[in-house]
């Protein structure tokens, strides 16, 4: 149950905003409740409309790796704002951002800033189609890459949460340019390329799946994608909108030794403001306008406030020990989940890569979308509601990864442990 103030706000919102929310997963439909409205956030804490405090495991669905309202990020945004909020002309900070990205993710020799992860994947796929002269793209069943028409085919968490595997409003001809493969299935990718390899422009994947819950990739599968794309003249796109600067300084491609042709970033590189980026091999990125024929543009691309917030966030991630700290905190959360589920006799399987974690309500690992669906989502919903009552804001869908920040301190983790204990016991 959400608090009375949130209930009132939700009723008011529902009259003027579809479903009362500006992005579907926020509506709590997957857990059968109503959303808690947030009035402010600091460090690891979200403050609800009624003043109740929650330890936050959403982190704005990924960006808030430093925690909320980090003083340096706030100062950077304030400082940038005094110098104007948008120019529509290039700035030095955008070059610094592209250099930082290239230093952290060496496969991104050149990059283009956009305003969201959705725009990043759209840009990358248009370049891939322009570069190869082919139309077909390949994505995973349950993989989410933003809101473009051709990507809303078996698109993971948000769509599944609505009970609609595909969105209305997507022309069949456009959906028909998307081919689907199961996550982590090397045989499927080999078979697909043996049948249609010469028509495929690109394969796009989440190198650690986050939108069907947290699923690590099988290295054999990653190798198969690299080999098949290379052999058939297609491009390999890593969508690191969620994993970039999250699972390691160099993203999942550093962790799993992947060499994609193109990479998409978002979330963390905006420090909580709207940013995305796509980039990769120089010869491919030189197809982008104005040097090449692939058009892509944006009024607010490289926005000075967003770049300031992103650069400040990235500066903090450069400090020694940061990713070890995230790993330690992730390990602690995993330990607490396993301890309290075990004590209460609730069968769960915890999957985690660094500070991305999912407690799947089933007793065996999850490797793909079908297995992610084979979970006890009714129990998950009750667990989620009990966590809220005990001051923990966990992602409101079994299909979403939880995010831990550097601000999750001992106090936050202790409160989390108490909430896990109570919530598992209540099942
Ligand atoms: C892997 C991945 N790609 C792309 C996107 C789209 O990013 P945005 O919501 O910023 O448009 C998301 C959003 O959650 C994502 O998780």
What is the Å distance from ligand 1's center to 152 Cα? Answer: 12
- Enter the tokens of residue 362: 């089933």
Whose C-alpha lies nearest to ligand 1, atom 4? 145
At residue 160, the pLDDT reads 57
Active site residue 144: yes
At residue 158, the pLDDT reads 64
**Binding site membership of 144 for ligand 1 (Cβ less than 6 Å):** yes
Distance CA 217, CA 17 (A): 37
What is the Å distance from ligand 1's center to 220 Cα? Answer: 25
Q: Give CATH for domain 4-69+320-425.
A: 3.90.1150.10
Phi first, then psi: give them for residue 103, nearest 5 degrees: -65, -40
At residue 209, the pLDDT reads 98
In the chain, domain spans: 4-69+320-425, 71-317
Query: Is there a contact between 157 and 144 (Cβ–Cβ < 8 Å)?
Result: yes
Q: What class, spelled out in words, does domain 71-317 have in CATH? A: alpha beta
Alpha helix (H) residue ranges in 262-303? 282-285
**Binding site membership of 210 for ligand 1 (Cβ less than 6 Å):** yes
* Eight-class DSSP state of 112: E
What is the Å distance from ligand 1's center to 194 Cα? Answer: 30
Q: 3-state DSSP helix/strand/coil percent for the chain, to nearest 5?
A: 45, 15, 40
At residue 157, the pLDDT reads 66
pTM equals 0.97
| Angle, vertex CA 184, rays to CA 183 and CA 186, nearest 5 | 115
**Binding site membership of 206 for ligand 1 (Cβ less than 6 Å):** yes
- Enter the tokens of residue 34: 């109503």
Residues (pLDDT < 50) of the chain are 162-165
Q: Is 71-317 in the same CATH topology as 4-69+320-425?
A: no
**Binding site membership of 58 for ligand 1 (Cβ less than 6 Å):** no
Left if phi > 0, otherwise alpha if psi is -120 to 50, otherwise beta: which for 244? beta
Sheet containing 392-393: give its strands across.
38-42, 45-48, 53-56, 392-393
**Binding site membership of 239 for ligand 1 (Cβ less than 6 Å):** yes
Distance CA 59, CA 94 (A): 25
């Amino acid at each position: 149950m959400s608090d009375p103030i949130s209930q009132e706000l939700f009723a008011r919102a529902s009259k003027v905003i579809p479903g009362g929310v500006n992005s579907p997963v926020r509506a709590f439909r997957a857990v059968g409740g109503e959303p808690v409205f947030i009035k402010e956030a600091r460090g690891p804490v979200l403050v609800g409309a009624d003043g109740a405090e929650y330890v936050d495991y959403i982190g704005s669905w990924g960006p808030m790796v430093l925690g909320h309202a980090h003083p340096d990020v706030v100062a950077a945004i304030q400082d940038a704002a005094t110098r104007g909020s948008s120019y529509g002309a290039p700035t030095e900070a955008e070059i610094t951002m592209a250099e930082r990205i290239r230093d952290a993710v060496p496969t991104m020799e050149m990059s283009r800033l956009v305003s969201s992860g959705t725009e990043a994947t759209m840009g990358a796929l248009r370049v891939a189609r322009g570069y190869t002269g082919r139309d077909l793209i390949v994505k995973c069943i349950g993989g989410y890459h933003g809101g473009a028409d051709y990507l809303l085919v078996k698109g993971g968490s948000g769509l599944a949460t609505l009970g609609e595997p595909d969105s209305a409003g997507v022309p069949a001809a456009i959906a028909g340019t998307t081919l689907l493969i199961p996550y982590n299935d090397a045989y499927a990718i080999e078979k697909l390329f043996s049948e249609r390899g010469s028509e495929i422009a690109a394969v796009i994947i989440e190198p650690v799946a986050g939108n069907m819950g947290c699923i690590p990739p099988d290295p054999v599968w990653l190798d198969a994608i690299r080999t098949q794309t290379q052999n058939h003249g297609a491009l390999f796109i890593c969508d690191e909108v969620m994993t970039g600067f999250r699972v390691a300084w160099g993203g999942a491609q550093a962790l799993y030794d992947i060499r994609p042709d193109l990479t998409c970033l978002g979330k963390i590189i905006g420090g909580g403001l709207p940013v995305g980026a796509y980039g990769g091999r120089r010869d491919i990125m030189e197809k982008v306008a104005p040097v090449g024929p692939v058009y892509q543009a944006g009024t607010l691309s490289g926005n000075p406030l967003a770049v300031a917030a992103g650069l400040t966030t990235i500066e903090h991630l450069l400090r020694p020990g940061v990713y070890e700290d995230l790993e330690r905190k992730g390990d602690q959360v995993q330990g607490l989940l396993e301890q309290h589920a075990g004590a209460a006799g609730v069968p769960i399987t915890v999957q985690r890569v660094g500070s991305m974690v999912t407690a799947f309500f089933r007793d065996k690992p999850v490797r793909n979308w079908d297995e992610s669906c084979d979970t006890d989502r009714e129990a998950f919903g009750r667990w989620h509601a009990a966590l809220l009552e005990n001051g923990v804001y966990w992602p409101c869908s079994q299909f979403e990864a939880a995010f831990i920040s550097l601000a999750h301190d001992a106090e936050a983790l202790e409160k989390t442990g108490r909430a896990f204990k109570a919530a598992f016991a209540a099942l």
